Structures are given as C-alpha cells and as structure tokens.
C-alpha cells in the first residue's frame, strides 16, 4: 500500500503540474521550480554560486544552469538538472574557463555556453559532461547567446566592446562582427533567423541586425536600459525589458513602431519597490503555446506573467531573492 502511494505521488508530480517555471535566485544560489497554474513553489534546489542563466533542453529532459559567480567569488560550473523532478544529475566543470553565462541548445543533449574569463563560446555535451569545442571571442564581455534556426551559427552579445559576434559552429571559428551600442547585452533572434535584436543597456537603444546582409539596419530608441529583447507572437511583436523605467516596451516588427508600454508597478502579490514606483524587469521566457510571456522582476523577487493577446499582466509568481534567469518546462 505504501509503495502504491509513493508511486502515485511520483506519477502525480510528473503528470501535474503541466508547466513549471524555473527561476534562478542569484542571491541565494538556488533555483525555484514553480507550478505556473497554482503559482506555487514545488521545490527549491541548490545550484553553484551566482546562477545567472537557465535553459531547458528541447525534449524537456534536462535543465542547465550557468553558475557565473561574482567578482569576489568566481564560479566555473554548469549545474544539470534532470526534469521534471529537478534532481541534480551532474555538475560540469569548465576548467580554465570561468564565469559561464549565456546558453542555447543545439540538440537534446548538446548546447553552447559563453564564458567571461576568458571570453569564449563552448559546445558542451550535457549528458557526458564534456566540453567538445571552444572558440575564443575577439570581443570582450561575451555575455548572451542565441542560435540560428539551422543551429550552424551562434550570435553573442559582447558587453564591453559594443559588438555582436557571429560564430560559425561548423568551422569552429568567428564568422563576422557587427558594431552595436554601449553595453550591448540582451540579445534575441527572430524565428526565421533573419533578425537579431541587441539591447544596448548603456545607450538606451536596440540595434537590429540583418543576419543575411551581416549588418545593422536600424536603431530603436527603446527607453532607458533595454537589458533584454524577445520576439513573440509569430515574430509580429518584440518585447524589450526597459530596466531604467521599469517597463516592458512592445514593438510592432512590421514597421518597428512602439505598440505599448507595460509598467511593472502595482502588480498583484508583489511588494512595492523600496525605491521608485516600479520594479526592474529583465529575462523573458514564453509558454509552450506562445500565448503567455514571463518576465523576471529583479527587484520584486517575482515573475510577472503577461497575456500576449491583451498585453496585460495577468498573474505573478513569487521567487527567491534577486531572481535572474528563467525558463519554462512543460509536458510534451
């Protein structure tokens, strides 16, 4: 009887919830697994020091966490969780390369990640826990990374040298660079792979790059500190986290006009900020059906859930202290 109850409990966790939000709590060195339907934390799991970014594999089996650490205490590890239980399967040590950050999956078992010290892009086998290939970056501060649809090119933002660097993953070399703005940090790519959007945190602009022509074609005035960008609604919309004003700014991609600003203020279940009237938004994640967008509120210790059709915050989810990277796991 006891065995049946335990088995039912395990199966119940796998079947329900159907969607789990993973939130990295940078100040606590943990990741929270949150049931989005109930806004309930299922469990909190220790990570390495200073976890910054989290990604879920395409098949949903793995979640990988880049432990960047801090300037005082650097880390050089990737924590690998087996989902949906959230069990730590292994920790990948990057050896001489420290402070990993951006990540993107090439397949169910292979991914790329960036490191700051030294600046490089790495191809990693998540199951074997091995670095297969490393490509040094010509620009400083290699931070976030996204992939082309065919997974042959990786695009990285370089905070300190105002560059977007394209890496040829087939040849294992740098393909080209495009100059962006001051503190080029947040980066996203349209689903067709044609447009890369880089948020320039120190310049209040977003640089739009044509990956076919390999040059920038427009600079958007996105408002103060556009720290992250994200394409959604079949690429009809682009969302920008404006950390300086505490808003999520939405653009129409048809003509790059501003559509709406969504203030991160007076949100249900979120304490008022200690300074100002709005919380600071940053990383994005999207539901499997593409109808809901999640944005982490760094100063609110929470995640806001935005309905893409109405462009309104419909729900919030409590996290740990100083949330940063977020990702979605959902049943296939």
Q: Which two tokens stand for residue 328?
A: 């979605």
Pairing of strands 302-307, 292-297: antiparallel
State how far the Cα of 255 lies from the Cα of 262, in Å rounded to an integer.
20
pLDDT digits (tens, 9 = 90+) for 58-84: 999 999 999 999 988 999 999 999 999
pLDDT digits (tens, 9 = 90+) for 120-145: 999 999 999 999 999 999 999 999 99
Q: Is 102 exposed, middle or buried (0-12, 13-18, 19+ CB in 10 A)?
A: buried
- In sign, the C-alpha dihedral spanning 285, 71, 128, 175 is positive
Per-residue exposure over 55-66, b if at least 16 CB sit within 10 Å of its own CB, e if not: bbbeebbbbbbb
Instruction: Give domain 22-330's CATH superfamily.
Output: YVTN repeat-like/Quinoprotein amine dehydrogenase (2.130.10.10)
Phi and psi, residue 81, nearest 5° = -105, 140
Adjacent-strand bridge partners of 45: 31
Is pLDDT at 6 greater than 50 in this prediction? no
- Measured from the Cβ of residue 313, the count of other Cβ atoms closer than 10 Å reads 21
State how far the Cα of 112 lies from the Cα of 55, in Å rounded to an integer.
11
pLDDT digits (tens, 9 = 90+) for 218-272: 999 978 999 999 999 999 999 999 999 999 999 999 999 999 999 999 898 898 8
State how far the Cα of 126 lies from the Cα of 107, in Å rounded to an integer.
10
The reported pTM is 0.93
Residue carrying structure tokens 């087939």: 170
């Amino acid at each position: 009887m006891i065995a049946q109850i335990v088995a039912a409990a395990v199966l119940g966790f796998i079947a329900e919830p159907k969607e789990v939000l993973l939130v990295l709590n940078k100040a606590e060195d943990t990741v929270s697994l949150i049931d989005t339907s109930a806004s309930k934390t299922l469990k909190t799991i220790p990570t390495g020091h200073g976890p910054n970014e989290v990604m879920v594999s395409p098949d949903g089996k793995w979640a990988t966490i880049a432990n960047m650490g801090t300037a005082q205490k650097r880390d050089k590890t990737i924590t690998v969780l087996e989902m949906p239980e959230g069990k730590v399967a292994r920790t990948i040590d990057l050896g001489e390369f420290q402070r990993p950050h951006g990540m993107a999956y090439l397949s169910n078992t292979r991914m790329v990640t960036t490191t700051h010290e030294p600046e490089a892009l790495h191809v990693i086998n998540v199951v074997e826990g091995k670095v297969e290939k490393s490509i040094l970056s010509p620009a400083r501060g290699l931070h976030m990374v996204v992939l082309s649809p065919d997974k042959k090119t990786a695009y990285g933002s370089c905070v300190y040298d105002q560059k977007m660097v394209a890496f040829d993953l087939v040849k294992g070399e740098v393909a080209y660079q495009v100059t962006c703005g001051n503190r080029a940090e947040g980066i996203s790519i349209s689903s067709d792979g044609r447009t890369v959007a880089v948020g320039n945190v120190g310049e209040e602009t977003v640089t739009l790059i044509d990956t076919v022509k390999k040059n920038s074609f427009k600079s958007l005035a996105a408002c103060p500190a556009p720290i992250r960008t994200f394409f959604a609604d079949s690429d009809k919309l682009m969302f920008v986290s404006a950390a300086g004003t505490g808003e999520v700014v939405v653009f129409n991609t048809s003509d790059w006009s501003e559509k709406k600003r969504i203030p991160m203020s007076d949100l249900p279940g979120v304490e008022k900020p200690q300074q100002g009237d709005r919380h600071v938004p940053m990383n994005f994640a999207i539901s499997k059906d593409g109808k809901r967008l999640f944005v982490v509120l760094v100063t609110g210790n929470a995640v806001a859930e935005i309905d893409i059709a109405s462009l309104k915050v419909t729900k919030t989810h409590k996290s740990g202290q100083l949330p940063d990277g977020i990702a979605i796991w959902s049943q296939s």
